[in-house]
Amino acid sequence: MRWRSAILFAALAVIGGAKADPDNYVIARRGRALAIAGDCVACHTAPGGTPLAGGLALATPFGVIMTPNITPDDATGIGRWTKAEFARAMHEGRGRNGAYLYPAFPYPYFAKVTREDTDAIFDYLRTLDPVSNAVNRRTLPFPFSVRALMIGWNSLFFKPGPFVPDPQHSPEFNRGAYLVEGLGHCGACHTPMNAFGANKADQFLQGNRIDEWTAPDITNDQQSGLGKWSVDEVVQYLKNGQTRTTTASGPMRDVVEHSTSKMSEADLRAIAVYLKERGAAGGPVPASVPASDPRMQVGEAIFVDTCSACHTRNGAGVEHLFPRLADNAIVRQSDPTTLVRIILTGVRGAGTDVFPTSPAMPSFGYRLDDNQVAAVVTYIRNSWGNTASPVDAELVKTLRSHVAGPVERSAAQ
Amino acid sequence: MVRRLPRKDVVIVGLGWTGSILAYELSRTGLEVVAIERGPWRDTATDFNIGTAPDELRYAVRHDIFLRPKQETLTMRNNPSQTALPIRKWGSFLPGNGVGGAGVHWNGQTWRFLPDDFRIRSHMLERYGEGIFPENHHIQDWPVSYDELEPYYDKFEYLAGISGKAGNVKGRIQPGGNPFEGARDRDYPTPPMRQGYAQELFTKAASGLGLHPFPRPSANISVAYTNPYGCSMAPCTYCGFCERFGCANYSKASPQTCVLPVLVRQPTFEARTECEVTKVNLAGDGKTATGVTYVDAAGEEWEQPADVVLVCAYALFNVRLLLLSGIGKPYDPASNEGVVGRNYAYQTGSGSTAFFEDAKFNSFAAAGSLGVAADDYNSDNFDHGPHGFVGGASITSAHTNGRPIQFHPTPQGTPNWGSQWKKAVRDTYQRVTSVGAQGSVMSYRNNYLDLDPTYKDPLGRPLMRMTFDYQDNERKMANWMADRCDEVAKAMGAKTTQVNRLVGPWSVVPYQSTHNTGGAVMGSDPKTSVLNRYLQSWDVSNVFVMGASAFPQNAGYNPTGTVGALTYWSLDAIKKYLKSPGPLVQL
């Protein structure tokens, strides 16, 4: 398709935004690293589909949004896009023809990415093989299907503008801030949302429920955040998918496997330094549920019978395989959704080059009823140095109705 | 119609212990490797749920993870004068099926054979003269020595995280270990398992009788461990669901725990499951394999060309594939010529069941390799002169399980059902233990494998015929061992004992041991072996055959440790072959 390249080149030349030649290996490679840091592949890939060819159904409170194809295919991808159009999408949330994009595409974060970096990502995307994959981009129901609504949304919740470093902090901290607040868009999951689906700026990174998972508090809070993690542990977690206390699972497993485990150690350290230094902001520590509470007694009996073989009687777990429950902030999140969900459906932990095992916890939803799950989670949240609110059986019941049971071949046989 | 697929560098037949190790080690060098496995994919996370894995009915009784006799079975007879009949339900041994192979359901005892075992013929001849050998024997030296294999035993033990206590480090005898073992370069990667009350009694009693007890080397591991590949294992919970089961706790070494996590990350590796290799294809000259033909789950036939064919399909099925492919001359006992199928061997089991008056053995708190052993009567660690047999056994006190359906020993004379039986089970369960002897089996002219003239598999290929019986040498040995076990059992304080001898012809019905060996043995002479010392076919130099089929005769130990060591030993040779193809041993 030489003619197409020629036309494109001409177009780029006219627009004049092109600083980098798409054939520039160094820039494309940097763009690839940035695309990994932004975890573009997580949303822009359908289950089992070609990476970045789009087609993943994102369930939002407003309806399903299908992610677009960002391979350089002319008809169905971004083959006809210019660098400037790409930068406008990233910085302003506008499509090629100017249409408003929905913030499921996290442009409120990407606005902070420098133009140099969006150009590099663009150059990288243009090195991919074009994949023809037409995605239905009109799946939202009325009135959300009216893209112009986003004008109002943007005026309320979107503060455009580049990242501004804080001179009070080290360059490393600022690099971390740039990644977390910008390309990494960590806050998109880890920050509570308002009724309009916008992240609450005043509760940045304080934890959130998303897709029936708890994205935990990642401020430096002692009770529910990273307060007891060292910088090294944060780096280790992002690089290897695990620390001595925990293993990444759920949506964070994908983030680690596709994105953070492939990032440079320097960037991971910058993220860790930023997260550790930017401060703590958790809620007050709730009163602990006393051991005499019947829920604690039932919970303990279930724990000994069902959980202790792997997680051990004192909640210490087994390094690299079975997460430690004792004194673990992830167990103490104000929202216990992740714990309940894991018991109901089971989960598989991250597998990385350093720790490839990718251990699994099986589902216990088939043999523990709502009250039993609530009791055992309440027990775990209030044992071995943990203090957290008790879990209501109603929450278990609701969650059970939302999360499908595990598809286990052994059970199906 | 057979459709031809794009060429691969290496095709592996069977994805168990040996196949997965080779697949990983070769694909990590960038080679395109495909493993073709006739059973399903199996993994800890997807198949062995801690809530459902300990299901004795499903796995131990109904053989959920074993080969279905409908897929493939064998015909069996005790001697060439009989007509062999098909085994319709697995009994004496239980072949694996699916990814992980028998490495999924093994107990986990991971031994090194003794230095003398590798040169048994020369050693026995030197010490006792020709007269020690039994009639019609085919006992032969291995073409490789213990010292040559030592680094490879070490590799496999560190891969699998084996829990044990060294008895001989660099020639220095270590207290608490097996003083008879060959010198090892370093201790086991993890400390021994915690033993039970029976093992405590055995240790005292055996020591009192002048024996040298030590904890068995175990693949049910004692502490958390991460192997050199980066795969992690958890401490064993002593749940007693090892043999016949997949481990849900990541505690038993298996391809699933120790190799697959890194193997599936290799971009040049591919596994095709539920695909059965029907033949290794040969070029016109009959001296080079061109790949394999296989049938997929839909019944479609495919040809997979490859530069190297690694046969990793379990001892018995390796031999059958060679026979069906015309690789090597089939063995004929009448003329005593040919090699493929020659020297099939097995294992003896004998011992003493010990009933105590007042004890509580808690045998349900167990593991496949939990136990202590004494090797004073193994190999040639004792004077065979007065006994007139070759071989030996490891004597053991072990509790592998106390499962409700199949573990309920009762004293002799107890009825098989009814209230008397129930009472005996109740009275006995906590008060019974045993001392067992797992012994060697030598190779003989009339114990062999060949293709059955009558019975065929669903694809129309002849079944393999097993002709096997214990010979007088093995009976003498096993029964002498039973008496030694009984001495120990009595010294442990048993009120009554029941000696279990090797009597009658070998039967396929009761479970005995899945330690089938030989049939494609390694050796120094192509007239008496299928493979050279690198497990390379003498006849077709780009075919290598892994597994216990290479054992010239069987030793008094479980085979997996030696199978693992031979795999790593052969891997080095395969790499050499890939650089410069051709026979690695010139005659």
Predicted confidence (pLDDT) per residue in A56-104, tens digit: 998 888 889 999 999 999 999 999 999 999 999 999 999 998 999 999 9
Question: Average pLDDT of A18-31?
Answer: 72
Model confidence at A36: pLDDT above 70: yes
Four-CA torsion B124, B129, B131, B132, nearest 10 degrees = -20
Q: Which residues of A touch B49 (CB under 8 A)?
A: 346, 362-363, 408, 410-411
Q: Which two tokens stand for residue A142?
A: 């009325």
Strands B348-355 and B432-439: antiparallel
Q: With beta carbons less than 8 A apart as the criterion, state whether B554 and B515 touch.
A: yes
Q: Which residues of B touch A306 (CB under 8 A)?
A: 51
Which tens digits make up the pLDDT trace of B157-213? 999 999 999 999 999 999 999 999 999 999 999 999 999 999 999 999 999 999 999
What is the mean pLDDT of the segment spanning A384-399? 96
Q: How confident is the model at residue A17 (pLDDT cuts 50, 70, 90)?
A: very low
CA distance B245 to chain A (A): 13
Q: Which of A355, A362, A409 sits opposite B232 (nearest CB)?
A: A355
Distance in Å, alpha carbon of B225 to nearest chain A alpha carbon: 9
Cβ neighbours of B250 in A, within 8 Å: 321, 357, 359
What class does CATH assign to B3-579? alpha beta
Per-residue exposure over B11-39, b if at least 16 CB sit within 10 Å of its own CB, e if not:
bbbbbbbbbbbbbbbbbbeebbbbbbbbb
Q: What is the value of ipTM here, to two decimals?
A: 0.90
Q: How far apart are CA B448 and CA B467, in angstroms?
A: 5
Which tens digits make up the pLDDT trace of A96-119? Answer: 989 999 999 999 999 999 999 999
Chains A, B: CB contacts under 8 A, how many? 74
Quote the pLDDT of residue B209: 98
**B525-549 pLDDT tens trace:** 999 999 999 999 999 999 999 999 9
B387 is catalytic: no
Banded pLDDT at A22 (limits 50, 70, 90): low
pLDDT in tens, B33-84: 999 999 999 999 989 988 889 999 999 999 999 999 999 999 999 999 999 9
Q: Is the dihedral of CA A87, A88, A93, A94 positive or negative?
A: negative
Q: Which of A309, A351, A411 sits opposite B50 (nearest CB)?
A: A309
Judge: A367–B51 Cβ closer than 8 Å, yes or no: yes
Task: Please give the Cα distance from B460 to B443 (Å, whole number).
Answer: 31
pLDDT on residue A139: 85
Closest CB from A310, A354, A366 relative to B234: A310
The number of CA neighbours under 13 Å toward the Cβ of B339 is 25
Q: Tell me which residue in B232, B248, B249 faces A320 most closely, judged by beta carbons.
A: B232
Residue ranges per structural domain of chain B: 3-579
**Out of B49, B235, B257, whose CB is closest to A318?**
B235
Give Cα separations from B218 to A382, B185, B417 (angstroms). Answer: 37, 18, 36
Helical (H) or strand (E) element with B423? helix B418-428
Mutation target to probe the A interface, by most A beta carbons within 10 A, among B46, B225, B249, B266 is: B46
CB B438 within 8 A of CB B513: yes
Kindly state whether A129 is in contact with chain B, defined as any CB-CB distance less than 8 angstroms: no
Task: Tell me the whole-structure pTM to 2 decimals.
Answer: 0.93
Instruction: Inform me whether the C-beta atom of residue A354 falls under 8 Å from chain B C-beta atoms.
Output: yes
Q: How far is B218 from chain A (nearest CA, A)?
A: 19
Cβ atoms A123, A23 nearer than 8 A: no
Query: Cβ of B250 under 8 Å from any chain A Cβ?
Result: yes
B159 touches chain A (CB under 8 A): no
What is the rounded CA–CA span in Å between residue B537 and residue B341? 14
> Does the distance separating the beta carbons of B230 and A356 come in below 8 Å?
yes
pLDDT of res. A405: 54
Burial class (CB in 10 A: 0-12, 13-18, 19+), A305: exposed
- Does residue A331 register a pLDDT over 50? yes
Answer whether B232 sits within 8 Å of A367, measured CB to CB.
no
Q: With an 8 Å Cβ cutoff, are B45 and A360 in contact?
A: yes
Question: In chain B, which residues have pLDDT < 50?
Answer: none
Predicted confidence at residue B505, as pLDDT, reads 96
Asked if residue A9 has pLDDT above 50, the reply is no
Q: B230 to chain A: nearest residue by CA?
A: A355
pLDDT confidence bin for A21, thresholds 50/70/90: low
pLDDT of residue A23: 64
State the pLDDT at residue B1: 79
B261 chain-A contacts, CB cut-off 8 A = 351, 356-358
Under an 8 A CB cutoff, do B261 and A358 touch? Answer: yes
B261 touches chain A (CB under 8 A): yes
Find the largest Cα–Cα distance for chain B.
71
pLDDT-derived band at A252, boundaries 50, 70, 90: very high
Q: Which residue of A has its CA nearest to B262?
A: A356
Longest dimension (CA), chain A: 78
Residue in chain B lying closest to A349 (CA): B45
Subunit contact A322:B226, Cβ cutoff 8 A: no
Cross-chain Cβ contact A410/B230 below 8 Å = no
- pLDDT, tens digit, 9 for 90 and up, residues A347-370: 999 999 999 999 999 999 999 999
Residue the block writes with tokens 């073709």: B36
- A326 phi, psi to nearest 5 deg: -65, 135
Q: What is the pLDDT of residue A61?
A: 82
With a cut of 60, say whether residue A16 has pLDDT above it: no
User: Can you list the pairs that A249-255 forms with residues at least 24 positions away whose Cβ atoms lie under 8 Å?
Assistant: A249/A342, A249/A347, A249/A348, A249/A349, A249/A350, A250/A213, A250/A338, A250/A341, A250/A347, A251/A189, A251/A210, A251/A211, A251/A213, A251/A215, A252/A215, A252/A350, A253/A348, A253/A349, A253/A350, A254/A39, A254/A42, A255/A39, A255/A42
Q: Do A320 and B224 touch (CB under 8 A)?
A: yes
Q: What is the pLDDT of residue B342?
A: 98
A407 touches chain B (CB under 8 A): no
Check if A228 contacts B (Cβ < 8 Å): no
Window 39-58 of B, Cβ < 8 Å to A: 44-52
With an 8 Å Cβ cutoff, is B283 touching chain A? no
Which residues from chain A sit within 8 angstroms of residue B52, using beta carbons? 362, 410-411
> What is the model's pLDDT at position A404?
65
What one-letter code names the amino acid at B334?
A
Chain A positions touching B230 (Cβ under 8 A) are 353-357
Residues in B closer than 8 angstroms to A318, CB to CB, are 224, 234-235
The pLDDT of residue A18: 38
